[in-house]
Structure 1
Amino acid sequence: MRPEARTRGIAALKSSPAAEGPETAAAYLAALAIGLVLAFTVFPLDFLFPTAGLPWRPAGDAAQHMVAQRYLLADAWRWPPTTVATLNTQEGGLNTVFADSIPLLALALKLLRGWLPEGFHGVGLFYGLAWVAQPVAAVWALRGAGETRILPPIGVALAAASMPAFIGRFGHAALCGHFLLLLGLGFYLRLVRRPTVGRWVGAGALQVAALLVHPYLAAMTLALLGAVPATRLLRGEAFIGPGLAVGVALGAVVGVMAGFGYLGAQGDGGYGMFAMNLLSPVWPAGSWLSGWPWSPQLDATGHGGWEGYNWLGFGLLGAFLLGVLAAPRAAWKLLRKHAGLAVVMAGLTALAVTHRVGFGAEIVLDLGPAPGPLEQFRASGRFFWPVGYALLVGAMVLLAKAGRAGPVLCLVAGLVQLADAAPLRRAITDWAGARPAWDIDAPALRDAFADARSLTLLPSWPCVDHATGGETFGLLLETLALASERALPASTMYVARWRTPPACRDRALAAAPLADGEVRVILPAALPTLLPLVPDGALRCGPVGQLVVCR
């Protein structure tokens, strides 16, 4: 055998999966341990595995997601499988995808519902699963870039589990699924190098899975997949086949959207309202090292900066700067090697900052009305998330090449990121462990619902003033949360999107005769106008705390 052939054979053996087995397993096991430790220290067990009858209430959007999941788990199987007939009955039922029910998990739990405790839902469980999967997916992404040593994967696992934009999503479980973005980045890195059929099938399945967690995540993973033919085109490599494969993946997503009833839905619009501020990636809000508070976030639009919160963390920024300074030529080579990904990341950044560009507290560029299709992306600041993870993986790749100290520096960067995110972890721990008292008389309402056949809740969601009805929305969701413990058929539900704009029919609902087994609950804001309309209201209605219940 010629010497150069023998050298290539030895190199191939060293990089083979069998030769890498021990280090590969160690990297993934370390990442899994990091995820498990963080998940079980951040989230209480009764948050991860809830039951009915708890003496505290769910808060905010989490209540909406919980209600939708409980009804989906309890209802009969239908088509689309995400629909329920027992919730939002005045509108003919509800497709729970529009209430952020995390269908991927909810449908799996529905198959197991016979073994689940009464009132169980998977919203808290999804937080735990996301926190466990996040560092593991980061190792997958880094290994896709060719880094096979043990310390850099541990560093990237620590850093990914400590990304501020990931931790700061508490209150919205589905959008904590950032591990899907890291998996998408890992598929990009593998497909751009060797686009096999198996990898394309896996990448296509990821797109569908991301859709069934949240459509925003699917849009981001599709963008990462679209970077494969873009990069190969800019390299002068074959790109038509990869381009067709991306089209097939997109077709699969559209097909699932059509089958599950996503298409044709509309929301309130407002692209540009919840944008990312230009300073957000480097503004250390919630950083332990800076000592700056997490809230309020940077905001130039007047709608709050939470959706555009994208502080990258001192660990990531430090790794990036050190990596570029240590090997500027390697950094330039890496950028050219993944030029298509860089173009896609630039596009996602432009989507995130929107047509009304904020810099600190000021709008520095306003391009006028946005094109109509962009109105679907109301929370546009989220689109920077894949950019942050691409920067993280790129930074670790560069830093790992910084001589013998490179792998150790990757681990140090991960530890710095972990420490820097301590205030954010403390905030989500406090939130998950909070035990807010019910604002309504929960025991009395549970008694009222125990033998009821249906719930009519007034005012209905479309009748509440969105600008001034915050307290009423809260009471509405609390009442639905109690009804969801036994999936009592309920007349209304708060949803983010809808296929047919909901109508306000409260006066007709209030004036209708009470049906056999119906419980009619009227919230304080509607008492003056709707209570007098209830037939025989003086005999059939009585106060339960601050609400009025009619039978």
Structure 2
Amino acid sequence: MPDNSSAPYHTVLKFAAPILLFLLFFTPDMLDPTNVGWLMRGDWAQHFLGWHAYRNGADGFNHQNLLGYPTGQSVIYTDSNPFLAFPFKLISPLLPDYFQYIGPWFLLCICLHYFIACRLVSRHAPGPWSALAGAVLLTLLPTLYGRIGHDTLVAHWLILAAIYIFFEIGDEKRKWIAYSVLLALCGFIHPYILVMVLAIWGADWLRVLGPQWQAKDIKGLGVSGLKMTLTLLAPIIALAISGAFSGSSAKSGGFGLYSMGLDAPFNPSNKSFMLPFLSVQQDEGQAFEGFQYLGLGLLFLIGAAIWLYRKSEDSRTVKEVLIKARPLKWPMIALLVLAISNKIQIYDILILKLPLPDFLEDLFNIVRASGRLFWPIAYLMVFLALLTLYRSRPKTMTIVLSVAVVLQFMDLAGFATQIKGLTARASDRTVFTIAKSPEWDKLIKDSDLVSFQAPSVHSNQPLFYEVTMHAVSNKVPVNTMYAARDNLKQSALEYEEYKRYQSGQLNPRHLYVMLNKCPAPKGAEHRLRALDGIWIIPPLGLETGLKTIPQVPTFEINKPHPITWDSPAACLFGQGWRLPERVGVWTEGARAEVNLALPTPALTAMTLDINARAMKAAQVDVFANGVPVGRFEMLKKDADYSVTIPQAVAAQSQTLNIRFVVTPPKAPQKDLKPEHLRLNISSLTLKTT
């Protein structure tokens, strides 16, 4: 059809497009607000349970204490979308017991995204069909749907809205009112998107401040500074209302780990796309948070626009828009630098990793998942490419737009199936698949607290979330919770409780749930029970009728034991050790030990292999059953170490006690403090020789 056609089916397709896109990537059953079972996995469970706890246990306007008791968490730190949580909390008594807004939110985001994309391109497109194609392409960035696991980050429409304000609103008063509303929305939805929108907002201020600075217009600079301050109050107030300043630390670890590779725009790092040979697997952090693949259609569109700009005088008339976009240059460069981070990598090749001073690393860890910050750049590239194409000859534009749309849909077909599979469970309304027994509700109702041990949600997320769902539904608090940012006070309380648990100081009114099947502490072995195969210690006196746990298995020799927060080997590290991490476990101080229950007394000498590192270069002595068996000069980086345990020492008992003692190195080291004398072990192997 000609681009100026206003055929009826164009109107139908124009309004049906966002619904069709939603159905392409999402399972429609998730739109039922009473359907919550599909949310009991991954970050969805964190977000839903944050809302569920807020409506059942709010102890303040934006705060609840059912999760991470006694400190609790603000709604924003469970990523529970304060923008929707607050109004639904007001009508909570009218809502069913199970109520979720995450599914409808996905539909709202796709519709708003497409609507703003239409507004953004319609004034520039030469006709209705080219405008429709442009809006669809702006709603087909893989990164939009790749964030399905983190629902609030699907609000890419906020980024498009900022681009719309920058380019399309000319009246200064309307512009700053629009920015204030948009920044406030970002403060209620997600701080990362707020950072991206602030970059575009900052570029608009550079457009105003630049001429004033050059003209030395002091009065104008003062007025502009006042307007900037007033505009910034909107997101600050929104963040305060959402609970962002509640005591949790804004920083976290991970800057550089969750970065973007230089190849990200053209490397899917995912074999579901049309040309799998383009895809080279990246490390876990970059493959997810650094996922910035544009798709074949958009890569073709951008390439064609660059070629047309160089070859076609018609296309070069877009220069007026490019001049208007110049203030975006430095803010976008800043976002790009942060997205790449200090870890400069292309495909799986590390080019350079720049060391950062501690104060800079702490600052950048506020945006630890910095790979996301490329999103505004991607949308600007697509938008400016569309504008360039719209200025070209009609036949050229029609061909390029058609090819771009077809290529993008073809490239995303497998990816769409993969993404839709993530919500397929919504067609099954089952809520509990692990903690299924009705006994859970009975036990929890008779408990003052559900205490997960060790208090590390990542040890077994599905189990944690299902038991927590039982607890929150019965308005009984739990001792921990995965939060967007740690509350240092709560972390300290959880660790103190963990140490009391390890020493056998159990509260008789608490229900203890083992996230990893670890032995009960001394003195509580007789109370260890199983429910749905989950190891628990019920409140005192409630053990009757529950199946007794079988004997704890012995340590397997001649087999490597990696130490992660969800590995069986994590159970070996109790008193004297910190909580296991994603990789490895630290000693609490300079001395710590592990006890290995052997299948039979040792009949031969044995070899102990460990992969370990020290906090600072240090000397480490190893003792087996109290006898010194080795000494290492241990480095700050991971390395393999090995000691031989004589048969006479190993055979003293069926339990082999291994003790590590960390002392200062032989060579003096500057700024070495007692707290630096600590050891991290990431794997352990005991072999017969």
CA gap of 1:233–1:268, structure 2 versus 1, over 3 A, is: closer
Equivalent pair of 1:296/1:305 in contact (CA under 8 Å): no
> Which residue of 2 is the match for residue 43 of structure 1?
26
Deviation at 1:513, TM superposition (A): 4.0
Question: What's the secondary structure of 2:127's corresponding residue?
Answer: coil
> Which residue of 2 is the match for residue 73 of structure 1?
55
Match of 1:422 among 413, 416, 422: 413
Match of 2:291 among 306, 309, 330: 309
Distance in 2 between residues matched to 1:289 and 1:492, nearest whole Å? 39
Equivalent pair of 1:335/1:342 in contact (CA under 8 Å): no
Question: What's the secondary structure of 2:351's corresponding residue?
Answer: strand
Distance in 1 between residues matched to 2:39 and 2:233, nearest whole Å? 41
Question: What's the secondary structure of 1:101's corresponding residue?
Answer: coil
Pair 1:165 & 2:143 matched: yes
Distance in 2 between residues matched to 1:531 and 1:168, nearest whole Å? 47
> Which residue of 2 is the match for residue 506 of structure 1?
498
CA gap of 1:152–1:245, structure 2 versus 1, over 3 A, is: farther
Equivalent pair of 1:69/1:122 in contact (CA under 8 Å): no
Distance in 1 between residues matched to 2:367 and 2:488, nearest whole Å? 19
Match of 2:260 among 269, 276, 292: 276
CA gap of 1:31–1:85, structure 2 versus 1, over 3 A, is: farther
Further displaced range: 63-72 or 109-118 = 109-118
Deviation at 1:431, TM superposition (A): 0.8
Deviation at 1:275, TM superposition (A): 0.7
Deviation at 1:298, TM superposition (A): 3.0
Question: What's the secondary structure of 1:493's corresponding residue?
Answer: coil
Larger radius of gyration: 2
CA gap of 1:524–1:217, structure 2 versus 1, over 3 A, is: closer
Question: What's the secondary structure of 1:405's corresponding residue?
Answer: helix
CA gap of 1:165–1:52, structure 2 versus 1, over 3 A, is: closer
Match of 1:483 among 471, 478, 483: 471
Equivalent pair of 1:234/1:339 in contact (CA under 8 Å): no
Deviation at 1:235, TM superposition (A): 7.5
Q: 1:323 is matched by which residue type in structure 2?
A: A
Equivalent pair of 1:69/1:101 in contact (CA under 8 Å): yes
Match of 1:179 among 142, 157, 161: 157
CA gap of 1:420–1:541, structure 2 versus 1, over 3 A, is: closer
Deviation at 1:244, TM superposition (A): 4.6
CA gap of 1:481–1:330, structure 2 versus 1, over 3 A, is: farther
Distance in 2 between residues matched to 1:489 and 1:72, nearest whole Å? 12
CA gap of 1:304–1:229, structure 2 versus 1, over 3 A, is: closer
> Which residue of 1 is the match for residue 366 of structure 2?
376
> Which residue of 2 is the match for residue 396 of structure 1?
386
Equivalent pair of 2:344/2:353 in contact (CA under 8 Å): yes
- The percentage of aligned residue pairs carrying the same residue is 23
Q: How does 1:444-455 map to 2 (within 5 A)?
A: 444-448=438-442, 451-452=445-446, 454-455=448-449
Equivalent pair of 1:156/1:411 in contact (CA under 8 Å): no
Q: 1:348 is matched by which residue type in structure 2?
A: L
> Which residue of 1 is the match for residue 656 of structure 2?
none
Pair 1:210 & 2:186 matched: yes
> Which residue of 2 is the match for residue 545 of structure 1?
533
Question: What's the secondary structure of 2:372's corresponding residue?
Answer: helix
Match of 1:443 among 434, 437, 448: 437
Distance in 1 between residues matched to 2:300 and 2:160, nearest whole Å? 20
> Which residue of 2 is the match for residue 86 of structure 1?
66
Equivalent pair of 1:210/1:218 in contact (CA under 8 Å): yes
Q: Which has the higher strand share?
A: 2
CA gap of 1:455–1:31, structure 2 versus 1, over 3 A, is: farther
Deviation at 1:532, TM superposition (A): 4.0
Distance in 2 between residues matched to 1:405 and 1:235, nearest whole Å? 41
Equivalent pair of 2:444/2:471 in contact (CA under 8 Å): no
> Which residue of 2 is the match for residue 254 of structure 1?
236
> Which residue of 1 is the match for residue 103 of structure 2?
124
Summarize deviations over 1:95-118 as a string: whole Å, max 9, x none.
Answer: 121111111122222233234322
Deviation at 1:390, TM superposition (A): 0.6
Distance in 1 between residues matched to 2:41 and 2:86, nearest whole Å? 24
Summarize deviations over 1:286-334 as a string: whole Å, max 9, x none.
Answer: 58774328987434xx744210010112222222222232233335544
> Which residue of 1 is the match for residue 551 of structure 2?
none
Match of 1:142 among 111, 114, 121: 121
| Structure 1 gaps, min length 5 | 1-21
Equivalent pair of 1:57/1:438 in contact (CA under 8 Å): no
- Give the TM-score normalised by the residue count of structure 1: 0.82
Question: What's the secondary structure of 2:345's corresponding residue?
Answer: strand
> Which residue of 1 is the match for residue 639 of structure 2?
none
Match of 1:472 among 426, 441, 460: 460
- Give the number of the structure with larger relative contact order, counting CA–CA contacts within 8 Å between residues 6 or more apart: 1
Deviation at 1:398, TM superposition (A): 0.8
Deviation at 1:512, TM superposition (A): 4.5
| Structure 2 gaps, min length 5 | 311-315, 540-689
Distance in 2 between residues matched to 1:297 and 1:53, nearest whole Å? 33
Equivalent pair of 2:117/2:138 in contact (CA under 8 Å): yes
Distance in 1 between residues matched to 2:373 and 2:166, nearest whole Å? 17
Deviation at 1:155, TM superposition (A): 1.4
Deviation at 1:179, TM superposition (A): 1.1
Aligned residues: 508
Summarize deviations over 1:328-368 as a string: whole Å, max 9, x none.
Answer: 33355443331111322222111101122111212223332
Q: Which has the higher helix share?
A: 1
Pair 1:456 & 2:450 matched: yes
Distance in 2 between residues matched to 1:549 and 1:133, nearest whole Å? 49
Deviation at 1:74, TM superposition (A): 2.9
Match of 1:525 among 505, 510, 516: 516
Deviation at 1:123, TM superposition (A): 2.2
> Which residue of 2 is the match for residue 335 of structure 1?
322
Q: 1:399 is matched by which residue type in structure 2?
A: L
Q: How does 1:349-368 map to 2 (within 5 A)?
A: 349-368=336-355
Deviation at 1:547, TM superposition (A): 2.8
Q: 2:371 is matched by which residue type in structure 1?
A: G
CA gap of 1:101–1:37, structure 2 versus 1, over 3 A, is: same
Q: 2:505 is matched by which residue type in structure 1?
A: A
Deviation at 1:400, TM superposition (A): 0.9
> Which residue of 2 is the match for residue 16 of structure 1?
none
> Which residue of 2 is the match for residue 199 of structure 1?
175
Distance in 1 between residues matched to 2:443 and 2:346, nearest whole Å? 51
Question: What's the secondary structure of 1:162's corresponding residue?
Answer: coil
Query: CA RMSD, aligned part only?
Result: 3.4
Question: What's the secondary structure of 2:288's corresponding residue?
Answer: coil
Question: What's the secondary structure of 1:327's corresponding residue?
Answer: helix
Question: What's the secondary structure of 1:421's corresponding residue?
Answer: helix
Deviation at 1:262, TM superposition (A): 1.5
Pair 1:227 & 2:203 matched: yes
Distance in 2 between residues matched to 1:57 and 1:531, nearest whole Å? 37
CA gap of 1:53–1:216, structure 2 versus 1, over 3 A, is: closer
> Which residue of 1 is the match for residue 85 of structure 2?
106
Equivalent pair of 1:42/1:429 in contact (CA under 8 Å): yes
Equivalent pair of 1:155/1:410 in contact (CA under 8 Å): yes
Equivalent pair of 2:165/2:179 in contact (CA under 8 Å): yes
Further displaced range: 519-528 or 345-354 = 519-528
Deviation at 1:529, TM superposition (A): 3.8
CA gap of 1:441–1:147, structure 2 versus 1, over 3 A, is: same
Distance in 2 between residues matched to 1:368 and 1:472, nearest whole Å? 34
